[in-house]
Amino acid sequence: KPGENPQINPKLKEQHLEFTKGMVYTRFPPEPNGYLHIGHVKAIMIDFGYAKFHGGRTYLRFDDTNPEAEEGRFFQSILETVRWLGFEPWKITYSSDNFDQLYEWAVELTRRGKAYVCTCSAEKMKEDRGMGKGHPVPCEHRDRPVEESLREFERMKNGEYPEQGAALRMKMDLTSGNPYMWDMVAYRVKLAPHHRTGDKWKIYPTYDFTHCLCDSIENISHSLCTVEFIPARESYEWLCDALEVYKARQYEFARLNLQGTFLSKRKIAKLVTKKLVKDWDDPRLYTIIALRRRGIPPGALLSFVSELGVTTSESVTEIKRFESSIRSYLEESAPRLMMVLNPVKLIIENVPDDYRVPVQVPLHPKVPSMGTVETSFTKEVYIDADDFREVDSPDYFRLAPGKSVGLFKAPYPVTCTSYTKDPVTGQVTEIRCRLEDGGNVKKAKAYIQWVNVPESIKVEEVRYFKPLFKSDPPPADFESDVDPDSLEVYKNAVIEPAFYELAKKAILDARKESEERTKKAQADSAPTNPNEHKPLEGSEAA
Ligand code: ATP
Ligand code: MG
Ligand code: MG
């Protein structure tokens, strides 16, 4: 915008425009240290959506500067998830593609007297940076001669320092009120092999050094990130200016937070390693693979995030709101089917053994076009143990001795005449009823689910998920707050054959749709994508 940045270097601007032709360039820059979560859906929609809206381009940039935490399966899954959501990167890049350039820039920065090698301990550095005291003080290395820092940096690079033995720090502004200006670390020693560069490097650039420079290299026009990076904008610009390279404009938006849970990959990784959840796709988590496993289609996630809108004010979204958004997205398209979780046999006494009435059960109460499934109403049916009470009460409308209830879509209600209990466990094992086909009971007050006994299919296992944590929000010591009853397993549930067939079809359809979506996303981006994607080296798929 005119007047917005008077210091803009006209030459850099010209070079940038030559590359971009004034087009919007954004990037989605995940760190490949875990699977994406629902918060990333928002970031993906903003990064890809903003560029798409303006006819621009979006990179998927793996921010792979932390060799220890990165695994091939994460790279692969991140790309798959972006595609599953319907977006196709213009190019797939890696921060590590730029390790040589970044290193040269680090040397240049040092040469310019704007970086120095510091060999203080981590504690000393923390203390000097004013943590707890409120103001930073320079350490003894800050004013060492440039030549000395260059030499020490070379030694760092050659692996002559152990991890945490030395760091290259940017010589920023210790008088600033912004901690991001207090001589941030640019490079540190890490001896772990890197996923893509192997053991070529013994030093790795930090996020603060890497991010703005990769944005610069890729000619990003709008560097979109979450609001906690507002104070980091100053150091982002400082570094680009110090090296006199093109600098993108950073814009911030509020993170998506969900009540009663957390999204941080590092914390989820902890739950997984400690086996407090089954894996990254445990349905109690809010990773995208978990939500997908729960049967939530990509459109429902996109619609939920759209409803929340984009602002800069931090907020925590209620899980109820998330669930009701998904439910309303699925409302018109999800078939209703009957399942009995905890079956008890109900025997109708006043009908012959071969009693069998065909029943049409609509798949949706309000969408007749969805059709019906056929089943039979028979002498013996299963109902849920929870739909029967031994002691009746006025505010209870389901089955109890002497009481009537409707069986969903069955021709007549039934009235309970007697029941049998297991003498040891006290559990109700059989309920006997009278079919009210004589007109005594005209209309039932409530209808319950049922499955006929002869055709019932036993489900090997039904898993019922409740909130993972006991507290809301989960405490810092979240591991001990995991609710062991948050996963309920039912081993005796029954369904009817039509349920089985439909579920099978739904799974196959979802698979097909997801494949088509990926194809479409790829086709959509094809004309603007002259360069082949680089293979995901070292990843499982490769
Ligand atoms: P985490 O703490 O879960 O690891 P992160 O911010 O470190 O999150 P990255 O993989 O670095 O995760 O994030 C990639 C992009 O996604 C960043 O631009 C980041 O700002 C954005 N992002 C991460 N979490 C959220 C969230 N909850 N809401 C919106 N955007 C998010
Ligand atoms: Mg990050
Ligand atoms: Mg993180």
Q: Is the CB of 70 under 6 A from ligand 1?
A: no
- Percentage of the chain exceeding pLDDT 70: 94
User: Same structural domain for residues 37 and 118?
Assistant: yes
Q: What is the pLDDT of residues 399-422, one digit of tens each?
A: 999 999 999 999 999 999 999 999
User: Same structural domain for residues 235 and 275?
Assistant: no
**380-384: strand order across its sheet:** 447-448, 404-407, 414-421, 428-435, 343-348, 380-384, 451-452
Residues 201 and 187: their CA atoms lie apart, in Å, by 11
Domain boundary among 209, 224, 258: 258
User: Same structural domain for residues 237 and 301?
Assistant: no
Confidence of residue 71 (pLDDT cuts 50, 70, 90): confident
Contact of 120 with 128, CB cutoff 8 Å: yes
Q: Is the CB of 29 under 6 A from ligand 1?
A: yes
What secondary structure letter does DSSP report for 477?
S
Q: What are phi and psi of 136, to 5 degrees?
A: -85, 150
| Structural domain count of the chain | 3
Q: Going along 76-152, which residue ranges are E strands?
A: 91-94, 115-118
> Is residue 378 domain-resident?
yes
User: Same structural domain for residues 322 and 398?
Assistant: no
Domain boundary among 276, 297, 330: 330
Q: What is the rounded average pLDDT of the residues 57-70?
A: 92
The boundaries of the domain holding residue 365 are 339-458
Looking at all shown ligands, the one closest to residue 255's CA atom is 1
309: domain CATH number is 1.10.1160.10
> Is residue 472 domain-resident?
no
Q: What is the pLDDT of residues 496-532, one digit of tens each?
A: 999 999 889 888 988 888 888 778 777 766 544 333 3
Q: Which residue has the higher pLDDT, 333 or 345?
A: 345
User: Same structural domain for residues 60 and 111?
Assistant: yes
Residues 542 and 221: their CA atoms lie apart, in Å, by 32
User: Same structural domain for residues 248 and 282?
Assistant: no
Instruction: Sort strands 167-170 and 356-362 into parallel, antiparallel or unpaired.
Output: unpaired
> Is residue 537 domain-resident?
no
Q: Which of 66-70, 90-94, 319-323, 350-354 has the lowest mean pLDDT?
A: 66-70
Q: Is the CB of 61 under 6 A from ligand 1?
A: no
Residues 383 and 432: their CA atoms lie apart, in Å, by 12
User: Same structural domain for residues 65 and 210?
Assistant: yes
Q: Which residues of 426-443 are buried (b: 16+ CB within 10 A; e: fewer)?
A: eebeebebbbbeeeebee
Name the pTM for this structure. Answer: 0.88
249: domain CATH number is 3.40.50.620
pLDDT at 344: 98
Q: What is the pLDDT of residues 366-387, one digit of tens each?
A: 999 999 999 999 999 999 999 9
pLDDT at 529: 38
Residues 46 and 28: their CA atoms lie apart, in Å, by 9
User: Same structural domain for residues 90 and 174?
Assistant: yes
User: Same structural domain for residues 94 and 147?
Assistant: yes
pLDDT at 165: 96
What secondary structure letter does DSSP report for 287?
B
Q: What is the rounded average pLDDT of the residues 360-365?
A: 92
User: Same structural domain for residues 254 and 352?
Assistant: no
User: Same structural domain for residues 251 and 131?
Assistant: yes
User: Same structural domain for residues 51 and 195?
Assistant: yes
Cα 327 to the chain's mean position, in Å? 18
Catalytic residue ranges: 31, 255, 265
Q: What is the pLDDT of residues 198-222, one digit of tens each?
A: 999 999 999 999 999 999 999 999 9
Confidence of residue 9 (pLDDT cuts 50, 70, 90): confident
DSSP string, 383-432: EEGGGB-SS--TT--SB-BT-EEEETT-SS-EEEEEEEE-TTT--EEEEE
What secondary structure letter does DSSP report for 480?
G
> Is residue 468 domain-resident?
no
Identify the CA nearest to 29 among candidates 77, 78, 63: 63
Q: Which residue has the tokens 């879509």?
A: 409
Q: Which of 33, 40, 42 to mutate to test the pocket of ligand 1 (most atoms within 8 A of CB)?
A: 40
Nearest CA owner, ligand 1 atom 25 = 39
Task: For residue 30, report the distance from its CA to the centre of ligand 2, in Å.
Answer: 6
Residues 139 and 494: their CA atoms lie apart, in Å, by 71
Q: What is the pLDDT of residues 298-334, one digit of tens each?
A: 999 999 999 999 999 889 999 999 999 999 999 988 8
> Is residue 494 domain-resident?
no
* Residue 132 pLDDT greater than 60, yes or no: no
Residues 148 and 265: their CA atoms lie apart, in Å, by 39
Residues 356 and 278: their CA atoms lie apart, in Å, by 43
Contact of 496 with 338, CB cutoff 8 Å: yes
Q: Is the CB of 434 under 6 A from ligand 1?
A: no
Q: What is the rounded average pLDDT of the residues 141-151?
A: 98
Domain boundary among 425, 458, 491: 458
In whole numbers, what is the pLDDT of the chain averaged over residues?
A: 92
405: domain CATH number is 2.40.240.10
> Is residue 511 domain-resident?
no
